[in-house]
Amino acid sequence: MAARMTGVIFTFDTHVLYVGDLIESSRHEHHAGQVIWAPAGLVVEDESGSPHRVTAYLVPPDTLHGHSAADAAAVLWVDRDDLEWHRALEHAPEICGAFAPRVSTRLDASVSPDDARAIARALLDLVAPPDRSAAFAPRHPAVKRMCTMLDSSASEQEVSVTQLAQQSGLSVRQLRHRFTEELGINPRAYLRWRRIRRAFASIERGATFTEAAIDGGFADGAHLSRVWQAQFGMAPSQALSSVRFGGSLT
């Protein structure tokens, strides 16, 4: 039987925190930055495939990576569009090297919401500037409107993109270029990530995997499974079937 994670998942503002054991992942990339803390250490493969033995590590958004298993860890996912990431990455290696949060708790499914909240804040402080109001990068109005459209769309419709480009005074090519420049991925990849987030939210609410796939705009459960594997380096059954959902920390 394939290894499965057995920890607990919380939401923290727009972010997601996992506390518990980690299983080994294949190389993958997703539209969220990832802050990993494993007190006993783990091995992370960076974008070039080079291994690093670390206790804390920052994976930038849309960056190919993989990691080994760890008996106890905390992982915070922060979407690319939640932070001005070029600022967050400036001093992260030095900060991660000295990371030692004042949290005296076991990193497993028994973690309390108060301890989980403290862990989430400590991990977020590694990447968020002291002035949180300055952490959110302004977007071009056309990009903001396109994100809104894709967030509420169950399927990508070229005519809508064309209409939006016309409304913004940009060509479709210019709009796509602006979108990719500001968010790091193209509209199709952004839509795929938002579908993953919608499917995850459905599972958290108690939906079956098939129901979550439909809620997220995927063709079926197999489609969601393929996308999930590419995004997280493991099957959704390994990531979600044995975890506990702890609710919101905010």
pLDDT digits (tens, 9 = 90+) for 8-44: 999 999 999 999 999 999 999 999 999 999 999 999 9
Residue 1 lies inside a defined structural domain of this protein? no
Query: 194 phi and psi, to 5 degrees?
Result: -65, -35
CB atoms within 10 A of CB 173: 9
Residue 2 lies inside a defined structural domain of this protein? no
| 45 and 131 both lie in a single domain | yes
Instruction: Report the alpha-carbon distance of residue 142 to residue 122 in Å, rounded.
Output: 34
| 172 and 57 both lie in a single domain | no
Instruction: Report the alpha-carbon distance of residue 116 to residue 244 in Å, rounded.
Output: 13
Q: What percent of the chain lies above the pLDDT cut of 90?
A: 54
- pLDDT over 90 (residue 5): yes
Please work out, in degrees rounded to the nearest 5, the angle formed at the alpha carbon of residue 221 by the alpha carbons of 1 and 145. 130
Q: Residue 50 corresponds to which tokens in the numbers above?
A: 């080079």
H helices, E strands: number in the chain: 10, 7
Residue 30 lies inside a defined structural domain of this protein? yes
Dmax of the chain from CA atoms?
A: 55
| 147 and 209 both lie in a single domain | yes
Residue recorded with tokens 């300055």: 134
Domain total in the chain: 2
More confident residue, 154 or 176: 176
- pLDDT over 70 (residue 211): yes
Question: Taking all residues of the chain, what is their mean pLDDT, rounded to a whole number?
Answer: 85
| 15 and 118 both lie in a single domain | yes
Top mean-pLDDT range of 85-99, 142-156, 222-236: 222-236
| CA distances to 150, 223, 236 from 155, in Å | 8, 14, 22
| Residue 15 contacts residue 74 (beta carbons within 8 Å) | no
pLDDT for residue 174: 86
Which of 34, 42, 193, 44 lies closest to 127, judged by CA?
34
| 103 and 164 both lie in a single domain | no
pLDDT for residue 172: 83
Query: 6 phi and psi, to 5 degrees?
Result: -130, 20
Residue 244 lies inside a defined structural domain of this protein? yes
| 118 and 18 both lie in a single domain | yes
Segments forming the whole domain that contains residue 108: 8-135+234-248
How many CA atoms lie less than 13 Å away from 38 in the CB half-sphere? 23
Instruction: Report the alpha-carbon distance of residue 172 to residue 189 in Å, rounded.
Output: 16
Query: Euclidean distance between the first and final Cα of the chain, in Å?
Result: 36
Overall average pLDDT of the 86-91 stretch: 71
Overall average pLDDT of the 51-63 stretch: 92
Q: What percent of the chain lies above the pLDDT cut of 70?
A: 87
**3-class secondary structure, 176:** helix
Q: Residue 107 corresponds to which tokens in the numbers above?
A: 């990193």
Binned at pLDDT 50, 70 and 90, residue 103 comes out as: low
pTM above threshold 0.85: yes
pLDDT for residue 130: 58
Among 121-125, 154-158, 181-185, the minimum mean pLDDT is found in: 154-158
Residue 238 lies inside a defined structural domain of this protein? yes
Q: For residue range 125-156, what is the model confidence (pLDDT) as tens digits?
A: 888 755 554 445 567 777 877 777 777 765 55
| 149 and 55 both lie in a single domain | no
| Residue 29 contacts residue 80 (beta carbons within 8 Å) | no
For position 26, which CATH number holds?
2.60.120.10
For position 215, which CATH number holds?
1.10.10.60
| 130 and 152 both lie in a single domain | no
Residue recorded with tokens 């209409």: 163
